[in-house]
Structure 1
Amino acid sequence: MPRNLWMKFIKLSLTTKLIAVLIILITVPLLLISFFSYSNYTRSIQNNTVVYVNQISKNILQRVDQYVSDIKRVTGSQIYMQDIQVSLAKPDKSLDDNRKLQDFTKGLNSLKNDTEAVYIFDKYGSFYYATKGDSMRDDIVEQVARLQEEVKKANGSSIVISTQKLSSPTSGSYYFSVARELKNTNTLESIGMIIFDSNIRVIADAVSELDQVTHGQTIVIDDRNTVIYDSEQRWISTNLDNNPIVRLASGSEGRFHYKLDGRNYLCTYATSEVTGWKQIVLIPIDRLTEEAKSTRNVTLLLVALLIVAALFLSIWLTLKLTRPMRDLMRTMKQVNKDNLDVQFPVKHSDEFGILAKQFNSMIRRIRNLVEEVYHTQNRKREAELRSLQHQINPHFIYNTLEVIRMTAEVKQDYEISDMTYNLGELLRYGIIRGTEAVTFDKEIEHLEQYVTLQNYRFSKDIQLEVTVRERHVHYRMIKLLFQPIVENAILHGFETKDDDCRIRMTSEEDSSYVYFMIEDNGSGMDEDTLKGIRATIQSHGEPSDRSSIGIENVNERIRLHYGPQFGLRIESRIGSGTIVTIALPAVKEGEEENI
């Protein structure tokens, strides 16, 4: 899809392209700036709100912590009065002891306005209480055993008991409790238990202040995920282990986003160090971003007006600036209709003016070239006629050799006839076909004719043995690669040898390379001569002697035609002969060379 759009864009006119590019360059940055500004502004509002709400939440938790700490101090200090301890520890209490303990309980209940009730239990089953409504809760006796076990585990420290519903004949409100085990200060023996019931409005008043700021909801839970208080008072004293909001509020403090009843909320939470209670505040994001949305709408309106004005100006400038180019295109179309008698008027010295000057110069040059080509064509025809005349000379030589061969045939001198025939074929192979590529079998056919002539020349019996692989017979190569190497073997390798002169040719293939090995059983070369020839081939310099001219020429032709990775490799030893390996690309007949 993007490629198709790009191809369509490429086909548009330059004016259209410029207008499109300007639209993109103006519109996209402005929209991106507006988007990022709005996003950053919204994010900043959320961050600032989180900081502010966290501060208020911590203040609220500190107020609750302060209240609970005060209750804990009361439970830990007032009861250390010796006469109270003595009265509470007696198994059989007098009326004076009971009155003293009851008055002490009423005094504790009056210390805090939000204290709903105070209960003091001795270890003999008796208890004393004081309530603001003169009625104790119905379940206090049933819960004593459980509470005694919990305070005993605290080992003298106060414990905070989560919110419960106050069940009494006259009240149905919620409360939370602080309890402590009472011990003899001298013997540290347990002498009873004290419980403070506090009205939940201690937390409700603080949460109400927070909700007025956030316009959201607040949930306070204990360390067991039981709700101490929530703004809507529908989850109080309910365990929320499986609630997703509670699960997301992991750790001591943090924030996250949550969607509840189709509305997005920014949730923050913090944990009290005194009670271990966690306060989760749900802030509706739409209320946070109301001001940001208003700012966004005004910004988008201004951006839209800027875009319209910028686009109008861009289109006008584009059409104005590209007008000379359109005029030049119309002039070029006239030239395309073979009208070379046109000139583009130069009005300015800018880029279009320079282009117009060059165009006019080009038109003049084209007119001159047309005339020059006309005259060149005439001269070319004359040169072709002269070339046809020069071709008569090679044909005269071939025809003359053929007459000599036929004369030798008539006189039954078959040796001269064969020599003449082979010489003529060598000339045709080397001259008429030029330097085009041939197949291996054509090259071997030429090589066999060459060896036949050399046997006549030196009166030797030089044996040429070709045992290449069958598929290599049809591989293509540039011509006249093998003859110089064989010639070098005959002239230098067999110089002192009259019989048993053998030249063997084999082939191998490796990946995309094919290797032809030419091996003779001549006299070979010493190490110094071999190093000199190798150095000449590698350096592409002048050959060190005439014996290496043919080899260096073959190596250079291979490298020039196929590339530097191809060429010759020479191995030789005195008295054992020489092996020349030719590395060529594996190109079969009918395939194109990719070198």
Structure 2
Amino acid sequence: MRKPHSIKKTVLFFDFLIVVPLFILFSILTIAAFRNSNYEWNRSKLASVEERCSNIADRNTEIIKITNMLYLDSEINHILSEKQQLTGYEATQAQGKIQGKMRELTELFPERQYQIMILCSNGNSYFQNSLEFTGDRPTFEKIVEESWYSEMGQGNDTIYFLPQYRSPLLQNNFQEDTLFAVRNIRNLNSGRKIGTMIVAVSHNIWGDDTIETGENAENTIVMDQYRKIIYASDKILYGNAIEDNSYYKKITENEKGFFLGHVKGQNCHIRFSSIEQTGWKLISYEPYQSSWSFYVGLILGLGAAMFLVLTFIVLYNCSFIAGRMKQLNKNIVEVSEGNLKAKILENYEAEFQDIYRNFNTMLDKIQELMQQLEKEQEEKHTLEIQALQAQINPHFFYNTLVTIRFMIQMEEYQEADKAILSFSKLLRKAFANQQRLISIKEEIDMTEEYLTLMSLRYKDKFQWKTIIDYETGELGILKNLIQPLVENSISHGFNMKTEKGHIWIRAYSREQKVVVEVEDDGVGVDLERIKKCIESREIPKVKEQFSGIGISNIQMRIKRNFGEEYGLHAFLNENGGVTFKMEIPVLHLGGEET
């Protein structure tokens, strides 16, 4: 017969067979996780860049709206179309009207800083009141002499976005990183060119991000269609041209992306995205974070050290435990052969004493508990599953959503809004609190949200009223005990009723008990069937329940949790309907029961 391996040799074998490959796998996964986190980090940063690009494009759209409204104003166009320079009273009137229109347009977007200039070919110039010039005021004759003006296109009246560095005249008057939107103005009738409109945009178009400092700071630049930097968080780069290299090709040939590259002699994460309507690119770069490799090495080193320590501990413990197991084995053999009455009588160290003491106790109780625990767990599991299924009633969800859809189709938007609000509150209250006990006030609040939904669904077929003492409302109750009773009144009490029905919900304390009553004035109620369900101790099937969790389910939950002296009763009331009376103990949510 082959001699079996010792525990020490077996553990050592599996240590190398399993632990070593797992350690290698752990190392690979650690490196992959760091690389993936690096990729996800760059992707989240790129999303931020795209959002900034979208904001810039939105602001450009606002500028286009301003120029369109000013360009198409017939009264303003008539003033600008004068062939001779206006003087005296006419000039003052023209200034007032045009500046008023400029102020009106810029006030449409009060959070932006837009300032408008109109330079006419007849020598007139109109400036917004808020403009303050540090140099000579620009004129039409001076603007057309600049090189960029011919690039704008004499026959093209669309917006031309002009960076500050390309216009020496405008640069002298605007010291901030201002962008200019330039557009030719023509007579609306003849098409004759009568001037140029310039909208000066403050540097906040690039965003209000706080620029970090230090060697790991994230920097941002905006490159125009001429490869020039028209904005840079690092002021030294402003106005410079981006070199024609592989990085430039990646940026110009793609709409967005990120990659690793060199910027100013440093390895950097480079992220970029396009700005619509302009041909510009917003580029973000940040020094490459290489510290992660240090942490990878640290983790791998700690893993190797833990592996060696674990091997030593396992080998030592195996030798010690093997001796004790030989002494315990003779007692355990009897149990393994089916003798559940066997006792371990040997006295060992304190740690092993707990083993045989608990083992002996287990043998005494295992047979008794097996049958009892199996039965109780099966019943409790079935009951709780049904309660959970009833809370998440697909039919109720479907009917509610169909009702809301019908309200929207009928343009009953206020009712639909009210239904959605009540539905969302009901779901939040039903699922957010996973505690077994909640306050009576919370239970009634959740029931009222359900009543609001049902009232909207059945077009005010019933009314309800709740009466609850303040002290009683703070006491505890099992979750979802009241709503099924209300649901029964709606579903069965009002089906055959032609006039409006009524539901009364009352909660009060009496003789060291809490009493909750749900009363209705419905018709056609089968009281005998209700009483039969209440008195039944069988777990009801879902298809046999009246509605919701079910009346018999409520009774079983009360009896199981609080005892036989509490429970649910039903009787006919003087209004012809049914009254449910529920009695539970006084439960303080702090944990005490009185």
Q: Normalised by the size of structure 2, how large is the TM-score?
A: 0.43
Q: Normalised by the size of structure 1, how large is the TM-score?
A: 0.43
> Could you say which structure has the larger radius of gyration?
1
